[in-house]
Structure 1
Amino acid sequence: MIIVFGLLALAVVTALYWYLWRRLVRDTTTGWGWPRRLGTALFTVGPAVMFAALFAEVGHAPFVLQRVLAWPGFLWMALSLYLLLAVVAGEALRPLLSRLLKRRDVERPFRGAGNCAPSPHDAPLSPPTEPPLKQLTRTESPVLTTPTPTRRLFVSRVIGGAAATAATATVGYGTYGVLRGPRVKRVTVPLAKLPRAAHGYRIAVVSDIHLGPVLGRGFAQRVVDTVNATQPDLIAVVGDLVDGSVQDLGPAAAPLAQLSARHGSYFVTGNHEYFSGARQWVEEVRTLGLRPLENARTELAHFDLAGVNDIAGESTGQGPDFDRALAGRDPARACVLLAHQPVQIHEAVRHHVDLQLSGHTHGGQLWPGNLVAAAANPTVAGLDRYGDTQLYVSRGAGAWGPPTRVGAPSDITVIELASRQT
């Protein structure tokens, strides 16, 4: 079944790239001159590098090879998506533009003709005389005019050029948005059990940093500086910190030691930690000053803070254990739960958690990926309520795969808890 699925996926991808090559290269060029050869090479090498980057990361290839392949491969992935969307949108404009040009060509000979009826006083026209042919000397050569493109070729070039421009601009702006670092988002969450003394308590929620072959130490430093500037009371790192081993990414994660909050920094695993060696990263973040909550709970001054492992840990016997994390707590105290995936909300409701903080979805990251994320998650981004439990989902600070976001800007969220007690 895996082989069949793989072959089917390969056939679909090949068909899509053939469609893009046809519309953007074959239909916009004539003959096998250098423009068509260059375009064909681009649509051959680009997918090859993209798949090589994916396999290098998933297969844990040498980190230097991952870094070489990641930028061109993952950017091509994002560009391919928006080239496809733009070209498909252009199909609706193609017949309209063709008819418009055809109508213009038909009407052009009659424009400005006016009243062409002959007057009776007009003198008879003498027969035209042809000028004598000029003999070309040996040093002269006939002037060759460049033929104008056909209507179909012109339409293909206009639509193809517009599609390529729109896709490149979209990916460029989306990549700039990631590399400049996440913006701060502030959300007020009222909790019925929160005492008045804790009104205004601030939790900085950081998720999905995804340090790896693309986003490295410089990006981690920008995240840390942004978090510290909010002066939170507590910092919650809710999973998917890294895409790689401690050996490769330990130096990139080092700035996390600078995180500063009055009541400390806490960490729970995401699914990508289990792809990268969760146990080694739990110990690494501990050395950086973060406190891992592995199916555990701590009692703070005015509420309980709990954390559960990610669902991906189930394959290694390290999955989420809500009973262990929440057993024995005082139900009269407010409880805030750190859980990477929004789908864990159902267990949180069953255990009477007041607020769950999650990430994982990236808000879809690349539109229309939000539609796919919505099909797999109860909440894609923002604050939601499930019974007596509230769920907040961050879009995340970084990006996985393409270092690009479209329609889902990265964020670090400052949750300000509000008491309803007087």
Structure 2
Amino acid sequence: MVVVFALVALVVLAAFAALHRYAWLRLVRDTTRGPGLARRTGTVVMVAGPLLMVAALVAERAGAPFWLQRVLGWPGFLWMALSLYLLLALLAGEGVRPLVARLVERRARTKDTAPIPAPVPAGTAPTEPKPEPEPERETAAREEPSSSSRRLFVSRVVGGAVAAAAVGTVGYGTYGVLRGPAVKRVTVPLAKLPRSAHGFRIAVVSDIHLGPVLGRSFAQRVVDTINSTQPDLIAVVGDLVDGSVKDLGPAAAPLAQLRARHGSYFVTGNHEYFSGADQWVEEVRRLGLHPLENARTELPAFDLAGVNDLAGESEGEGPDFTRALGDRDTSRAVVLLAHQPVQVHEAVKHHVDLQLSGHTHGGQLWPGNFIAAATNPTLAGLDRYGDTQLYVSRGAGAWGPPTRVGAPSDITVIELASTQA
């Protein structure tokens, strides 16, 4: 098993190095006139970027000193997003390059063949200029640098467009995350919901991912947005943090300000188990949230249940649907908090009316949405499986790069509707 993992890691690293060499060839070597400051600077960037990215990933997973994680996090994780869009833009640029080269060549040919009229003395009739024969060796010497200059010009035009597209995409996607999630409102009808609970509002937030990059100010922005919706209940459905309570306790402190008439509830996501789920369960409880560890609580109008994330199975703390739902009154509606959408299949077996999930990030970075859609029953939004409805939030934050492209962050206010109303 270790040998297989090592081989896979070597293949991935080799592919990663090859892609960066390709980017260096197109963006640095082909756009510079040989060794010099510009080429040296570009080379340093192309080498330092991937090294910082790997260092940021290793530092986070290995539990390096938090100050080091923060130093490496911003440049390292941003390079992760930037390298993706540089590669995609370069591939698109390969299709555009021949067209640009043809236009430049045509323009140069037109300029070279255009006749230059000779000055004509006053009072004399113009005569056709007689071209002077030029030695073949001199012509070739004159054309060679011109051809080389045109190739350099094409490389710079395409390379500049590639860099601008990648930087612009990542910059806008990062701004979208840092300004905070938007509020979505979705109405979900439940057949078993009593008329008295018609219009009950649940604020659903997932995948905040507090860590070396997104810290206390981001948490405060999320809390303020949730509170502004004045929900009846708040559901935090996992992946709250990427780190320990020791490092991220201050960042999570604004959660104590969450306000809802029927309280705030929390279930674990897979990332909580990377840094100690038990300590975070206790921390959120201290902050005033109610952890639902394979448990259920009876609210006046419906049951609210929660199950642990699948990642807890490695620690003997996986999801237990029987414990959470086994002995309930099935005539009452039940809303289940479960981090991963794939858990809906068990929810169907236990006659859950509505499951609230996150985990997918909506793909976070296009075209990652195609991969996320292939590995999850629902990528984002409201769906139905048998008699169970599933709502998947795209999440409030971001993992790795603080960037989203094609998958804007959200906090969703689910308004429950009684079919008896």
Is structure 2 residue 103 aligned with structure 1 residue 97?
A: no
1:294 aligned partner: 293
Give the partner amino acid of 1:413.
Answer: T
Give the partner amino acid of 2:94.
Answer: E
Higher mean C-alpha deviation, range 98-107 or range 38-47: 98-107
Q: Provide runs of 4+ in structure 1 moved above 4 Å.
A: 109-114, 121-128, 146-149
1:41 aligned partner: 44
1:231-310 mapped onto 2 (5 Å cutoff)? 231-310=230-309
Residue 113 of structure 1 deviates from its aligned partner by: 8.4
Is structure 2 residue 31 aligned with structure 1 residue 31?
A: no
Whole-angstrom CA distance in 1 between matches of 2:77 and 2:55: 10
Residue 356 of structure 1 deviates from its aligned partner by: 0.3
Higher mean C-alpha deviation, range 231-240 or range 151-160: 151-160
Whole-angstrom CA distance in 1 between matches of 2:128 and 2:190: 97
Whole-angstrom CA distance in 2 between matches of 1:112 and 1:397: 65
- Superposed CA deviations along residues 57-77 of structure 1, whole A, max 9, x for unmatched, are 011111111011000100111
- Superposed CA deviations along residues 108-161 of structure 1, whole A, max 9, x for unmatched, are 3555889xxxxxx94768999xxxxxxxxxxxxxxxxx9896221111110100
Whole-angstrom CA distance in 2 between matches of 1:105 and 1:66: 52
Give the partner amino acid of 1:227.
Answer: I
1:84 aligned partner: 87
The runs of 5 or more residues in structure 2 that have no matched partner are 118-123, 132-144
Whole-angstrom CA distance in 1 between matches of 2:342 and 2:227: 29
Change (3 A) 1:147 1:416: same
2:225 aligned partner: 226
1:5-404 mapped onto 2 (5 Å cutoff)? 5-109=8-112, 122=125, 150-404=149-403
RMSD of aligned alpha carbons: 2.0
Identity %: 75
- Superposed CA deviations along residues 25-54 of structure 1, whole A, max 9, x for unmatched, are 011111101111110111111111110000
- Superposed CA deviations along residues 226-246 of structure 1, whole A, max 9, x for unmatched, are 000000000000000001111
Residue 331 of structure 1 deviates from its aligned partner by: 1.2
Residue 106 of structure 1 deviates from its aligned partner by: 2.5
Give the partner amino acid of 2:213.
Answer: V
Give the partner amino acid of 1:105.
Answer: A
Higher mean C-alpha deviation, range 207-216 or range 97-106: 97-106
Residue 107 of structure 1 deviates from its aligned partner by: 2.9
Whole-angstrom CA distance in 2 between matches of 1:237 and 1:156: 49
Whole-angstrom CA distance in 2 between matches of 1:213 and 1:124: 78
1:135 aligned partner: none
Residue 327 of structure 1 deviates from its aligned partner by: 1.1
Whole-angstrom CA distance in 1 between matches of 2:163 and 2:101: 20
Whole-angstrom CA distance in 1 between matches of 2:330 and 2:316: 28
Whole-angstrom CA distance in 2 between matches of 1:12 and 1:200: 52
Give secondary structure in 2 for the equivalent of 1:266. strand
Whole-angstrom CA distance in 1 between matches of 2:298 and 2:127: 110
- Superposed CA deviations along residues 276-304 of structure 1, whole A, max 9, x for unmatched, are 10000001100100000000011111111
Change (3 A) 1:110 1:333: same
1:143 aligned partner: none
Give secondary structure in 1 for the equivalent of 2:355. strand
Give the partner amino acid of 1:356.
Answer: Q
Whole-angstrom CA distance in 2 between matches of 1:250 and 1:39: 39
Give secondary structure in 2 for the equivalent of 1:150. helix
Aligned residues: 400
Change (3 A) 1:147 1:307: same
Residue 104 of structure 1 deviates from its aligned partner by: 2.3
Residue 324 of structure 1 deviates from its aligned partner by: 0.6
Whole-angstrom CA distance in 2 between matches of 1:67 and 1:127: 73
Whole-angstrom CA distance in 2 between matches of 1:193 and 1:22: 63
Higher mean C-alpha deviation, range 100-109 or range 189-198: 100-109
Give the partner amino acid of 1:367.
Answer: W
Change (3 A) 1:421 1:38: same
- Superposed CA deviations along residues 250-285 of structure 1, whole A, max 9, x for unmatched, are 111111000000000000000000001000000110
Give the partner amino acid of 2:379.
Answer: V
Whole-angstrom CA distance in 2 between matches of 1:124 and 1:11: 67
Residue 79 of structure 1 deviates from its aligned partner by: 0.7
Whole-angstrom CA distance in 1 between matches of 2:348 and 2:205: 22
